């Protein structure tokens, strides 16, 4: 009995990074759920069996969009969407990001927030990265929502593919960033419910800026190759 396993002093075996929690009972809210990205995500998550509530400033707009999506999707104003959800995806345009989060700060208290906003500027040369004062959209969310658990994910998905009814699988990885492993794993599990997608841990929030702004490069790729490019990581 001299092996390290028997002494009690050995390190525990590392946790399998692909062993993710069951998230099927969580309610997912989508702020900005009437935009293309928000509706696309809501649609795919609802099709995968998740209970989804889309939020908008105007509850009736959200309800109309929800009816079109079907699969049990509900619509509500942003505050109700946040209050009734366990996980809240933030899919608003960058220029409404801070104001939207400040308006529902109370309702997001204690919630798992998933920021998927890409701060970009556009000119005649195409798209380029904007650098938020806080470092990234996700870090801005973390600064504005000190009582929430903030992560970042779903940056590189094409709204066109998400909304195309003829596409059953979206072969791509979803990089999930955050400070707390258990929170990231919930979001990874959520992403992995959508056929073709894998939720992959992608680092801490301080490394969110480059993930958010890589969308500017994907826009260049799409233009050159007439595609809807996504990202897969190799060797994992």
Q: How far apart are CA 117 and CA 213, in angstroms?
A: 9
- Closest CB 131 distance from a copy of itself, rounded Å: 8
Based on the shown chain and the rule CB under 8 A, indicate whether residue 152 belongs to the binding site for a copy of itself.
no
What is the maximum alpha-carbon separation in the chain? 71
Helix ranges (DSSP H) in 76-207: 78-84, 97-103, 137-144, 159-163, 181-192
Q: What is the DSSP letter of 58?
A: S
79 in contact with a copy of itself (CB under 8 A): no
Instruction: Give the separation between CA 33 and CA 219, rounded to whole angstroms.
Output: 22
* 172 belongs to the binding site for a copy of itself (CB under 8 A): yes
Indicate whether 220 belongs to the interface with a copy of itself (CB under 8 A): yes
- Is beta strand 27-31 parallel, antiparallel or unpaired with respect to 51-56? parallel
125 touches a copy of itself (CB under 8 A):
yes
Count of residues binding a copy of itself (CB under 8 A)?
Answer: 43
Q: Looking at 43, 51, 149, 228, which residue binds a copy of itself (CB under 8 A)?
A: 228
Compare residues 31 and 137 and give the one whose CB is closer to a copy of itself: 137
Assign 36 to helix, strand or coil: helix
Q: Which two tokens stand for residue 89?
A: 């995806």
Residues at the contact surface with a copy of itself, assessed by CB under 8 A:
17, 125-129, 131, 158, 161, 171-172, 175, 177, 200-204, 206-207, 209-211, 213-214, 216-221, 224-225, 227-236
């Amino acid at each position: 009995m001299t092996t390290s396993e028997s002494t009690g002093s050995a390190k525990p075996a590392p946790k399998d990074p692909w062993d993710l929690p069951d998230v099927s009972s969580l309610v997912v809210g989508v702020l900005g759920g009437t935009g293309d990205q928000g509706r696309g995500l809501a649609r795919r998550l609802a099709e995968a069996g998740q209970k989804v509530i889309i939020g908008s400033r105007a509850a009736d707009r959200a309800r109309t969009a929800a009816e079109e999506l079907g699969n049990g999707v509900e619509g509500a104003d942003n505050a109700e969407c946040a209050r009734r959800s366990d996980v809240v995806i933030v899919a608003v345009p960058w220029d409404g990001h801070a104001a939207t989060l400040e308006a529902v700060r109370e309702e997001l208290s204690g919630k798992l927030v998933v920021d998927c906003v890409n701060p970009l500027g556009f000119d005649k040369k195409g798209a380029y990265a904007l650098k938020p004062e806080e470092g990234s959209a996700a870090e801005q969310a973390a600064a504005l929502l000190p009582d929430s658990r903030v992560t970042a994910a779903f940056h590189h998905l094409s709204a066109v593919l998400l909304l195309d009814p003829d596409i059953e699988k979206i072969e791509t990885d979803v990089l999930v960033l955050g400070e707390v492993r258990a929170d990231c794993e919930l979001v990874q599990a959520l992403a992995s419910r959508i056929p073709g997608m894998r939720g992959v841990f992608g680092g801490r929030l301080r490394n969110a800026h480059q993930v958010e702004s890589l969308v500017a490069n994907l826009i260049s790729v799409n233009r050159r190759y007439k595609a809807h490019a996504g990202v897969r990581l190799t060797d994992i």
